[in-house]
């Protein structure tokens, strides 16, 4: 049976939540972010015509759009809204693959006959998110994940597009090769030197030539260029991991600046973990250098935890080991936790009181940051 895949992408999610919660921000250019690292987390569509983009340094964003209103990140609030959105998804299918707080794939192959077909499900989800929550989602529908995501991107904001076998090549061919998963900026530039700028030109290139340019990814990328993607929607009752990462507009090598980014990432991930009532066993840092070389380093705890202090200690230790052995300018830094569970190993007899105090502290900080923004309170740097 041909799959029926829906991709839901919330439009300017963080900024839209801020505009929803504060009507005075509606219709105005809003930038969500700031803090120690001074980076844009996201911005409203009113700010984008000025050139403001995610991961841009705040000083540059303010220079491009001086009239923009900057508000702090409230991750717990966004996670709360995301849970409400996912409860709408669950009405139509249990097969949900969350990509981030504001993005998910749904496989409705087995349930579409219950709700009048895949197009009707897409429109119902879109309207219910608008009516019940007050936010706008872009919806893409197709028979695979690649085309469904492409469909949701093409007509943003407030988009709705179905890509079929009949119209897929007409839509794909004029697009730049960078719209294909796996082709980043460096690869696109390499292809351009051989006169391959569009998907049409890519799919017309002999596979042997593409192997020289793309290596063992050539066949997979060629399949995507003709709209073939066999990857299933990967769904589980419980997430495998929780992570966040920052891509920098300019490569950063300063140790203190990178540590500031990492500490904020730890706070965000720990807050998400506690919101979902989960504990983690392993922490992982991702380091991507300016030449796109990427390495990861991990550490596993003896006992599952959700304490920010545990994650901070482990993350800083991993970072310092990396910095002493393989330092370099980074274009991306990421932090994540895995080995998730809903149950914790019992703390030792002498750790009980300290553990209780730490959990109360984390809970209080979560509450304050959720209400007033993540930059209102930070742990000691």
What residue ranges do the domains of the chain occupy?
A: 1-164, 173-225, 241-376
The pair of structure tokens assigned to 80 is 């709360």
Check if 103 is active-site: yes
Question: Considering the entire predicted model, what is its pTM?
Answer: 0.69
Residue 286 confidence (pLDDT)? 96
Cα–Cα separations (whole angstroms), residue 134 to 10, 14, 25, 98, 209: 11, 13, 14, 20, 50
Catalytic residue among 18, 46, 103, 267: 103
Residue 356 confidence (pLDDT)? 53
Residue 248 confidence (pLDDT)? 81
Residue 282, SS3 per DSSP: strand
Consecutive 10-residue runs of the chain (381 residues): their mean pLDDT?
93 96 96 76 94 88 95 86 92 91 94 96 97 97 96 94 96 95 86 95 92 88 94 75 82 89 89 85 94 92 93 96 93 92 54 52 54 51 46
* CATH architecture type of domain 1-164: 2-Layer Sandwich (3.30)
Residue whose tokens read 């294909």:
180
Residue 8 confidence (pLDDT)? 98
Contact of 274 with 362, CB cutoff 8 Å: yes
Residue whose tokens read 């990861």:
296
Of 135, 137, 134, residue with least CA distance to 121: 137
Residue 75 confidence (pLDDT)? 80
Residue 371, SS3 per DSSP: helix
Q: How many residues appear in the chain? A: 381
Radius of gyration of the chain (CA): 22
Residue 180, SS3 per DSSP: coil
Q: What residues pair up with 103 in beta bridges, in sequence order? A: 9, 100
Pairing of strands 137-142, 160-162: parallel
Residue 235 confidence (pLDDT)? 77
The CATH number of 241-376, from 3.20.20.100, 3.30.70.980, 3.30.1490.100, 3.40.630.10, is: 3.30.1490.100
The pair of structure tokens assigned to 41 is 């987390």
Q: What residues pair up with 242 in beta bridges, in sequence order? A: 337
Residue 349 confidence (pLDDT)? 42
State the alpha helices, DSSP H only, in 105-245: 118-128, 145-154, 168-172, 185-192, 199-203, 207-214, 218-225
Pairing of strands 103-107, 96-100: antiparallel
The CATH number of 173-225, from 1.10.150.20, 3.40.1370.10, 3.40.50.1110, 1.10.357.10, is: 1.10.150.20
297: burial class by Cβ within 10 Å (0-12, 13-18, 19+)? Answer: middle
What DSSP letter does each residue of 315-348 carry, written as one string? HHHHHHHHHHHS---EEEEEEEEES-BS--PPPP
Residue 83 confidence (pLDDT)? 87
């Amino acid at each position: 049976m041909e799959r029926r895949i829906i991709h839901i992408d919330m439009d300017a999610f963080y900024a839209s939540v801020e505009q929803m919660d504060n009507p005075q921000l509606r219709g105005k250019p809003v930038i969500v972010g700031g803090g120690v690292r001074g980076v844009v987390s996201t911005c409203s569509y009113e700010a984008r015509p000025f050139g403001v983009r995610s991961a841009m340094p705040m000083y540059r964003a303010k220079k491009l759009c001086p009239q923009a209103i900057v508000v702090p990140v409230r991750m717990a609030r966004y996670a709360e809204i995301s849970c409400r959105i996912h409860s709408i998804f669950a009405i139509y299918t249990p097969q949900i693959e969350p990509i981030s707080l504001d993005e998910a794939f749904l496989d409705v192959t087995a349930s579409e006959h219950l709700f009048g077909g895949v197009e009707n499900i897409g429109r119902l989800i879109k309207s219910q998110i608008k009516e019940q929550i007050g936010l706008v989602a872009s919806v893409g529908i197709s028979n695979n994940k690649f085309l469904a995501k492409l469909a949701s991107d093409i007509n943003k904001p407030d988009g709705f597009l179905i890509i079929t076998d009949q119209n897929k090549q007409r839509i794909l061919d004029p697009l730049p090769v960078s719209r294909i998963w796996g082709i980043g900026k460096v690869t696109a530039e390499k292809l351009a030197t051989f006169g391959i700028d569009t998907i049409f030109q890519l799919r017309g290139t002999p596979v042997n030539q593409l192997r020289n340019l793309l290596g063992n990814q050539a066949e997979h990328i060629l399949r995507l260029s003709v709209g073939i993607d066999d990857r299933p929607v990967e769904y589980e009752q419980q997430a495998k991991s929780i992570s966040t990462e920052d891509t920098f507009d300019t490569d950063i090598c300063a140790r203190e600046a990178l540590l500031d980014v990492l500490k904020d990432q730890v706070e965000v991930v720990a807050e998400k973990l506690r919101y979902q009532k989960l504990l983690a066993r392993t922490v992982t840092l991702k380091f991507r250098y300016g030449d796109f070389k990427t390495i990861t380093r991990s550490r596993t705890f003896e006992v599952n935890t959700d304490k920010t202090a545990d994650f901070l200690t482990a993350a800083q230790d991993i970072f310092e080991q990396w910095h002493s052995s393989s330092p370099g300018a980074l274009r991306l830094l990421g932090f994540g936790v895995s080995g998730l569970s809903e149950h914790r190993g019992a703390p030792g007899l002498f750790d009980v009181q300290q553990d209780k105090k730490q959990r109360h502290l984390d809970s209080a900080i979560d509450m304050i940051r959720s209400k007033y923004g993540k930059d209102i309170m930070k742990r000691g740097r």
